[in-house]
Amino acid sequence: MIGSSKRPRRAHAIRWTCRWLVLAGAVALAWPWRSDSTTSVILPATSPFIAMAGAISTRTTGVLLLLSLPVFLLALRFPRSFCRYGCPVGLLQDCGQRLRPKARKQGSGWPAVGRWLLLLTLGGALLGWPLFLWLDPLALFNGFLNAWRQPLSLATLLTGLGLPLVLLFDLLLPALWCRRLCPLGATQDLLAWPRRALRRRQVRAHPAPTPWPIGNRGRRRFLEGLLLAGGAVAARAVQAKRPPLLRPPGSLDEGRFAGVCVRCGNCAQVCPSDIIQPDLGASGFAGFLSPRLRFDADYCREDCHRCGEVCPSGAITRLSADGKRHWVIGRAVVDYDRCLLVQGRECTACIQRCPYQAIAMRSVDGGFSNEPAVIADRCNGCGACEAVCPTAPTRAITIRPQSWESLSRTGVADREG
């Protein structure tokens, strides 16, 4: 009896030790003041939910997919093992529940919303827009840590609200998130389904005196199929055309980018120029808090391609150094009504600063005046010209998304008017 009573205590101690070690490792990997590190990609990349939906959406696989294999394989044999032994969000929820030790845990009377979210997301992923991928708890955890990177701003802090909201929700309705809402938990349930189905078949072959309730599984499968189809239809609706934004180099097309992005904040954390900022509504609700580029003070450096190295979902593809230099973010466009050089004042800041020699001096009015001209097939929209332009508050030269069609296709931008 003494030996048997020690076993649950030992298992409990092992479980909590594993969870605290994973939490410490997750914080160390995504430490917000380590801007030179690319290790922040590891934690969200271990999520099978992100790995599956990301691979389906982008139709690609990569090395990062291997990081999800341990959780994937464990879920096949031990249902929700990551929830019990590894999830840092679950650990924080359990710690928070100690503030309300007498609160009754929820879940038994609630529908399995997490399964619906999973099926809608996978259905949307078939058309390139995984609807609820941003609800992955590991992405929410990373987003919270990355929100505290320097310099702090309201926009960056907004990206970290997901985790506190989940913890507050769990404090009000204990265990409901983990049991019924979490899409990562539902993904583990899906992976454990073959083993459970085999067990049910064995039970039917050798029925016990009190067999499990089978229920109407045909109706359930039909409803699950409807959810997959509904996710695909909703994805098509969400992909409606919206104003294009400047996205990090290697980004998917605008029709898929905001859906595949999990808002983890990794790309903004590792950007040495601090030009990756959260979108606060320019691309609509569907693109809220997705990363966009702003060249107010700096530009996209020609030797940097870190953002693609830390994206766990494939929203930003990994580029080589040479591939990054040839990736077109946008095109520079000159507003000649604001340009100081056109006004006869001494200014060649954009011409001198361009690292790709994509801006040339052009003589106009019979050689009596000069103006800058953008060489379109050299410009990749790095933003160096916009960052150094001295005109204020509106710059005379700005970077526009590729679909902005006021650029000449002859090699040099034409002057309007």
Q: Which amino acid is at 291?
A: P
Q: Give the model's pLDDT for residue 414.
A: 42
Measured distance CA(228)–CA(231) in Å, rounded: 5
Mean pLDDT, residues 275-283: 90
pLDDT at residue 218 in the model: 55
Domains in the chain, start-ordered, CATH in brackets? 10-100+110-203+221-238 (no CATH), 329-417 (3.30.70.20)
Q: Which amino acid is at 337?
A: D
- What integer is the mean pLDDT of 105-115? 80
CA atoms within 13 Å, Cβ hemisphere of 79: 10
Alpha-carbon distance of 90 to 92, in angstroms, equals 5
pTM for this structure? 0.84
pLDDT at 234 over 80: no
Does 106 or 302 have the greater pLDDT score? 302
The pLDDT tens digits for 358-380 are 999 988 876 677 899 999 999 99
CB count in 10 Å sphere of residue 93 = 21
The predicted structure's pLDDT at residue 407:
39
For residue 250, count other CB atoms closer than 10 A to its CB: 21
Which residues, 6+ apart, have CB-to-CB distance to 167 below 8 Å?
A: 89, 92, 93, 96
Q: What is the pLDDT of residue 182?
A: 96
Question: How many C-beta neighbours within 10 Å does residue 144 have?
Answer: 24
Which of the residue ranges 14-28, 234-248, 293-307 would you say has the lowest mean pLDDT?
234-248
Across the range 312-322, mean pLDDT stands at 93
